[in-house]
A and B are shown apart, each in its own frame.
Chain A
């Protein structure tokens, strides 16, 4: 089996008496979509925060392409190729779609310490940004301000900005959040194609999307991994039904 791109090994995090994550171990292999599901409060957000660097684990480690990244900052992880999307869109709202995508290209390719020639007249940046926008279907909207975009378009732009980083792995925090069924279906098709570029760790509440996309699913309950398995295995598990799907259905 190919070496995993992203590994989480025995990661624990507590806030006072609350154990948010306890000994979480999972990995992300090349070409796969690995979904993380679990009821509210299961510790999914805490896990994402530790993978992306906004929180440091109390114990355990995170590795990207075999290198430990547990001690690195958010920005350092991004430069190493860890691209995330946010549950609540975090975009430069006053800027245009293209400028937001160029920002990603900027972080990935040249340094931001260029003070003279306009960012939008640098072909290296713009080409990269436009390629990502074309990929998510936002080329028509590239000169619109993000504030004027629909919710669905912002979700697409989140993915496009992550793409401009030329990432080694994606971490997506509920990319389907707030999308209608049509929007979810479009984004599902997009993510399905993206896994060929870099594997995706997908935290998602939309079970249709998860079952359609995931190669493997890890189920988080009370801060622990209850089980990791294929879609069929997770669906068949009585434990998971009891802990999670039963409540939802």
Chain B
């Protein structure tokens, strides 16, 4: 069996290797697939903080993914149309700068996650699942009718946003950006998991009564985890929008929330590298089986069924059974 550290390293090297090999073979579409996997992995890594470490089954993380997407879409839209963005009290100009857009996406997602978390965390179990779903659907229907930004047609951004010193039109350079952010977030998650906060959050998940009895507030721990989790999903949404140069209400859709949960479970709940494995497998199935049949998700469903019934630790759990606690 493989130690978790080597497995994580191997998975990241494989993902980076696929993109580099595709560059060498001059198959940019494969780089795009690798980039898509990296971005989905980033979003799922965000969800893994709430779902894996905190035990919060959010069925509404598309909310944050969509907010990140629309933060990018709206800022870039105003930049490409040279119209100021009117925020009521003051006006700002749009921007095509990725760092600024990322900051906006993360901030917006975190700010929305606070009230959503405060309300949703009053419930548990199936009610928590439903209330998070409801918030995401609210934004879905809102953007559907928000004609200023394309309504149901979505919003196209003609030119990919820029990053200082890089040519983001080059697929491998954009992949490099996404991959670097993914690695940074995974590293942060690994630190977080072992930190006092991670220990307290894990205890609040396993035994709320115990957490309270030692003077901790499970509610506050969960809220912080939820906000962090949402902020990371927001960042992923901004990148996803830049990958496709398109945002639409579908980014808020429950399909996407469900897919993110599937990625986490497939890879291995609460396993740091789990989301990357889940996203990698997902994108590969989508690509290879998608060529054969439109109904490729049937096979995904079967794999998921197998994982849930026989391999609770997901794919990472199968390959590296015990390393979850100490590496």
Contacts and interface: CB of A to CB of B under 8 A. Distances in A.
Interface of A: 52, 73-76, 78-79, 83-84, 86, 90-96, 99-100, 102-104, 106-108, 110-120, 122, 125, 145, 161, 164-165
A122 B206 CA distance: 23
Nearest to B217: A75
Nearest to A53: B212
A120 B202 CA distance: 14
B325 A103 contact: no
B325 A118 contact: no
B214 interface: yes
A125 B325 contact: no
B203 A92 contact: yes
Q: 6 tightest CB-CB pairs across the interface, nearest first?
A: A107-B214, A78-B215, A107-B215, A112-B200, A118-B194, A79-B215
Contact of A95 (B206, B212, B216, B224): B206
Interface in B193-229: 194-203, 206-207, 209-217, 221, 224
A122 B209 CA distance: 25
A95 B216 CA distance: 17
Nearest to B200: A112
Contact of A116 (B195, B203, B209, B214): B195
Query: Which secondary structure dominates chain A's binding surface?
Result: mixed
A93 B210 CA distance: 11
Contacts of B203: 92, 95, 100, 103
Contacts of A95: 199, 202-203, 206, 325
B191 interface: yes
A94 B213 contact: no
A94 B212 contact: no
A102 B196 CA distance: 9
Contacts of A74: 212-213
A231 to B, nearest CB: 29
B197 A113 contact: yes
Contacts of B207: 90-93
